[in-house]
Amino acid sequence: EALAAAAGALRAGGLVAVPTDTVYGVACLAQDPRAVRRIYSLKGRNGTKPLAVCLGDVELVHRYCHVNVPDALLRDLLPGPVTLVLRRSEELNKDLNPFTSLVGVRVPNHPFVRELARACSGPLALTSANISSQASTLTVSEFQDLWPQLSLVIDGGPIGDVQSPECRLGSTVVDLSVSGRFGIIRPGCALDSTVEILRQKYGLIPESS
C-alpha cells in the first residue's frame, strides 16, 4: 500500500521522503524537470549542486551512465552505501544537473526504495531529507519542518544509531569517470571498504597520486 501510494505521488510530480540504507532521503522522478526544481526549492539548495539518481537494479547503471569500469566492480559496491560518479548518458533528463557531464548514481541496499525505483519507469532523483548544510536525518521527526512541502512521508523507523555521528555521514561518493582512477568526493560512511575494493581488487589509482 505504501509502495503504491509513493509511486503514485512521484508519477504525479510530487516529492516523497523515503528511508534508505544510509539516511532519510527525498525522491522525485529524475526525468520530471518541474519536480527536480521543487527539490532544489525544498532544500534551499544552490542550483549548481548536483542531484544523484537512484536506481532499483545495478544493470540499469549502463542505461543512464557511460560505464568504464568492470561490471564486477559495480556489483562489488552496489547495492550499498556508495554513490558512483560516472559520465551521464543521453537517456538522462537534460534538465537534471545541466552544468555537468557527470552524474552520481545510487542503488541503495534498502528494499523499499529499490522497489519504488522499479515501480517508476525511470530513475529517481534522490537527496538527503534536510535543509542544505544541516545535519542528515535518521528519523522522520527530524525533518518535520519539510513535511508540508512533501506529498508523502514513508516512515521506515530509525536508520542506524541515532546517537552516532558516523551514521549521519551519508553514502561514500566516489568519482569513477576517469579510466583506471578514482577520486573520493565525499568520504561518507563506507570509505575504507570502498577504497580497499577499488585499490586492492581492481588496481585503481587514487586521483591525488
Tell me the pLDDT band of 106, cut-offs 50, 70 and 90.
very high
Please provide the average confidence, as pLDDT, over all residues in the chain: 95
Poorest-pLDDT segment among 11-20, 90-99, 109-118: 90-99
Grid coordinates of 9: 505521488
| Chain centroid, CA 64 distance in Å | 14
Tell me the pLDDT band of 121, cut-offs 50, 70 and 90.
confident
Going from the C-alpha of 28 to that of each of 2, 103, 116, 147, 166, the distances in angstroms are: 16, 16, 11, 15, 26
Q: Which long-range contacts (CB under 8 A, 24 or more apart) does 155-163 make?
A: 155/19, 156/18, 156/19, 156/110, 156/112, 157/19, 159/19, 159/20, 159/21, 159/22, 159/23, 159/24, 160/22, 162/138
> Are 123 and 60 contacting, i.e. CB atoms less than 8 angstroms apart?
yes
How do residues 122-178 score in pLDDT, each as one tens digit?
Answer: 999 999 999 988 999 999 999 999 999 999 999 999 998 889 888 899 999 999 999
* Overall average pLDDT of the 186-201 stretch: 97
> Are 101 and 42 contacting, i.e. CB atoms less than 8 angstroms apart?
no
CA–CA separation, 23 vs 11, rounded Å? 23
Question: Cis link prior to 79 (omega < 30° from 0)?
Answer: yes
What is the DSSP pairing of strand 65-66 with strand 205-206? unpaired
| Chain centroid, CA 201 distance in Å | 24
- Report domain extents, the chain: 1-204
Pick the CATH number of 1-204 from 3.40.50.150, 2.40.30.10, 3.40.640.10, 3.90.870.10: 3.90.870.10
Buried b (16+ CB within 10 A) or exposed e, 102-124: bbbbbbbebebbbebbeebebbb
CA–CA separation, 136 vs 17, rounded Å? 13
What is the DSSP pairing of strand 65-66 with strand 82-88? antiparallel
Tell me the pLDDT band of 189, cut-offs 50, 70 and 90.
very high
> Are 40 and 30 contacting, i.e. CB atoms less than 8 angstroms apart?
no
Grid coordinates of 104: 552520481
Give the predicted TM-score (pTM) of the model.
Answer: 0.95
